[in-house]
Structure 1
Amino acid sequence: MPRARLCDLPTPVREVPALGAWVKDDSHSAPLWGGNKPRKLEWILADAEQRGKRSILTFGGLGTNHGLATALYARERGMACVLALVDQPRDAHVEAQLERIGASGARVYITRSVPRTAFAFPWIYLRTGRPYVLPTGGSSPVGALGFVEAAFELADQVDAGELPAPAAIVMALGSGGTAAGLAAGLPLAGLANTRVVAVLVNDKIKLTHATITKLARRSQKLIGQDGAPLAPLEVVTGFMGAGYGHATPEAGAAIEEAAAAGLELDPVYTGKAMAALRAGSAGDGPVLFWNTQSAQE
């Protein structure tokens, strides 16, 4: 399948004894905007271009990292970006994101809620010239291929002796593409016994073991691996707090602890995932924390 080269790979791994984990640090994965989004966009933008699309419509919260990354990398490749955004608690980070989105050149529709977005979608789609439609977080079967590929990258680092084979990989579960891609890719890369531990941080969309498994299966099919085994998958709940975008004391404590160890996390996604890791959700064995935050935040 076609792929647009956006990322600086491989991203580094290191042991952080103070956190009781190894860290796969995607924060500097790409120059314009890092984190997990550019891995997905390498495949998404290439697919859009192959289909002859010159604009992309996608969705997120007011402070969407995915929407901003899509706008930045689409603009770099000469494509327009349209964003439909739903409400989330507004803090300094969200306000800064809105400024970045405004400067990105994206065309923005504030739709307030998921039901209102669904209602407005046909009108937005037609008004903006039938763009390439991308789900929240870039978590389409094509987008998840970014983390199928990332599983092979990790396996190469294990083979090179940079870290032991993880018993579990912990990451935030915001839209499902990262977890689905790893679930599909790890067995193909020779890490079939590594568990994918996805910490739920988003209640705006349905995210369950079944939905992630379905997405992983659809990604497998794209690369001719339909029916291949998936890695063990666990969806961890209880760390989201009052809802998507709401801070929690546990995440705040995890962010402070990580900062003391030289790792910058955020309160919406990675802080909650680290809180789950520190609470023992990953179980025994070497644990790898996949840092999906962008250093540019």
Structure 2
Amino acid sequence: MNFTTLRAQLAQFPHLALANYPTPLEPLPRFSKSIGANVWIKRDDNIGPGLGGNKTRKLEFLMAEAQRCGAHKVVTFGGLQSNHARITAAVARKLGIEPHLFYFEKRPRDFIGNLQLNTLLNAKMHFLPLAGDGRNDLQSINRLVRLFSRAMVGPSYFIPVGGHNALGCLGYVDCAAEIDVQVKSLGLENVIVVTAVGTGGTLAGLHAGSTLLDSPVRVIGIDVGKLWTKFPHDLAHLTGEITALLGERRTFAARDIPMIEDRYCGRKYGVPSQAGTDAIKRLAETEGIVLDPVYTGKAMAGLIDLVRRGFFKSDETVIFLHTGGAPGLFAFP
């Protein structure tokens, strides 16, 4: 499938224009020198309302579908510092839709970081703590929140955690096409994209897009929390759903999914790691760009360590996908 055909396929789906594209692809000369690799950064941190971030790309498709369905309310969930929940609330308010955000944790004493922004947006936040490992069973929680959505008064639209479905992931199929064009126009070769992986939809969308375009750009995911028990299998299934939605039925096995490094999660999802904190400081000090402690900080720590371990070849160009999340910085001392 060529670029024109892919864009035509994407254009068949309802879509909102919430940001200006393409997002910049910028070199990081001082940072690159400090770690000994040729690193660029894709600035998806600056897109969309509510201080923005990568979930905007997914919500352009998901919220367009919510509007088409006549929804008066939108329902989703996430961790306490979920960027997805915050951006969903912001986009919903922009469209005149009431946002309902579910958190399966105790109501915190202080509303800081993303929770403070949710309050500013007057998002309806629901705290329903789950015991034991229940809060880590994302498939079951998705089903539970969907039930809450159906029980609400008035038409509502359910969005899975992280916008993690084939429709939402079309946003990152589009991003893969965008990166392919930018890489060619800049004359970059042997390109590897590194992205944080939470629920995995961004990675699946990028992989689906690159596969459909037969792009030479490779993708690596850095797991930030081990949120899925069968990650490669789940993402293989999702990637197949994405390509089918775009008119090409392909079967993906777990071995087809881009490498997912899971040694940089730290203690657990949502808790900063020391390596992540160090990576945040390094990029800020060398380039004046801010990462967050839950997602991009850990992913950048992974990138730095992969460089140290000699994973990248000297002639390879590494693109770090900055997915946003800076408000999360203010949730941790």
Return the TM-score normalized by structure 1: 0.89
Q: Determine whether 1:287 maps to 2:318.
A: yes
Match 2:59 to one of 21, 41, 47: 41
Richer in helix (by share) = 2
What is the distance in 1 between the residues matched to 2:89 and 2:317? Answer: 37
Aligned with 1:261: secondary structure?
Answer: helix
Please state how far the C-alpha of 1:89 moved relative to its aligned partner: 12
Aligned with 1:39: secondary structure?
Answer: helix
- Asked if the contact 2:75/2:156 (under 8 Å) is kept, the reply is yes
What is the distance in 2 between the residues matched to 1:89 and 1:171? Answer: 30
- Asked if the contact 1:195/1:234 (under 8 Å) is kept, the reply is no
| 1:1-49 CA-partner distances (Å, limit 9, x unpaired) | 1101101111111121323311111121224332201111101111122
- Asked if the contact 2:198/2:227 (under 8 Å) is kept, the reply is no
Residue in structure 1 matched with residue 233 of structure 2 by the alignment = 210
Q: Which has the larger radius of gyration?
A: 2
Please state how far the C-alpha of 1:212 moved relative to its aligned partner: 1.4
Residue in structure 2 matched with residue 10 of structure 1 by the alignment = 22
What is the distance in 2 between the residues matched to 1:249 and 1:9? Answer: 34
Q: Alpha carbon RMSD of aligned pairs, Å?
A: 2.6
- Asked if the contact 1:36/1:293 (under 8 Å) is kept, the reply is yes
- Asked if the contact 1:88/1:245 (under 8 Å) is kept, the reply is no
Q: 1:37 to 1:46 in 2, by over 3 A?
A: same
What is the distance in 1 between the residues matched to 2:279 and 2:61? Answer: 32
Return the TM-score normalized by structure 2: 0.80
Q: 1:102 to 1:133 in 2, by over 3 A?
A: same
Q: 1:119 to 1:22 in 2, by over 3 A?
A: closer
Bigger shift: 4-13 or 44-53? Answer: 44-53
- Asked if the contact 2:194/2:303 (under 8 Å) is kept, the reply is yes
Residue in structure 2 matched with residue 241 of structure 1 by the alignment = 266
What is the distance in 1 between the residues matched to 2:155 and 2:188? Answer: 47
Residue in structure 1 matched with residue 182 of structure 2 by the alignment = 157
Q: Determine whether 1:200 maps to 2:223.
A: yes
Aligned with 1:11: secondary structure?
Answer: coil
* Structure 1 residue ranges without an equivalent (≥5): none
Aligned with 1:279: secondary structure?
Answer: helix
Identity of aligned residues (%): 30
What is the distance in 2 between the residues matched to 1:203 and 1:49? Answer: 33
- Asked if the contact 1:7/1:30 (under 8 Å) is kept, the reply is yes
Corresponding letter in the other structure for 1:198: G
Corresponding letter in the other structure for 1:61: G
Residue in structure 2 matched with residue 61 of structure 1 by the alignment = 79
What is the distance in 1 between the residues matched to 2:249 and 2:202? Answer: 19
What is the distance in 1 between the residues matched to 2:325 and 2:276? Answer: 17
Corresponding letter in the other structure for 1:13: L
* Structure 2 residue ranges without an equivalent (≥5): 1-12, 329-333
Corresponding letter in the other structure for 1:215: L
Residue in structure 1 matched with residue 126 of structure 2 by the alignment = 109
What is the distance in 1 between the residues matched to 2:154 and 2:238? Answer: 27
Please state how far the C-alpha of 1:121 moved relative to its aligned partner: 5.5
